[in-house]
Structure 1
Amino acid sequence: MPAPYSYDLRQKVIDAIELDGMPKTEASQVFHVSRNTINLWLQRKAQTGDFLPKPHHRPGNNHKITDWQKFNLHSAG
């Protein structure tokens, strides 16, 4: 999975659209960000008040030991 866009880039794109009145299509071309991504950022800002990237959690199993007594019994034998 690619790294999320930097907060600085997100800020520049949103400012260009909201403060400077740049159309989303033009901002997409100038900043090399898809129009869909810009729409998602604007939607997230409307919902949460900010456009921070979502926390990144890698998929997979949680391999933490929860029952130490049972673990110690099996590893001792």
Structure 2
Amino acid sequence: MEIRPDKEKLVELAHYKMPFGKFKDSYLVDLPLPYLVWFRQKGLPKGKLGEFLSTMLDIKDNGLEPMIRKIQKEFPQKS
């Protein structure tokens, strides 16, 4: 079985910003790891934000942040 990432979702994730709180308007990749861990412990929000926060925690936990930053540069956000 081959696992292939969804390019459109990765680009969206790379440019997704925190919609509220202390880190409002920060890219999810810029959120501190302890904040993401805290969110998972307290309960992630439902929907896309919760899915993206969980995915970003996995990405950061596995040292894959450079991949997201490369996506941000190579696929700039459309206006």
Q: Same fold by TM-score, threshold 0.5 exceeded?
A: no
TM-score normalised by structure 2 residue count:
0.36
TM-score normalised by structure 1 residue count:
0.36
Query: Relative contact order (alpha carbons < 8 A, sep ≥ 6): 1 or 2 greater?
Result: 2
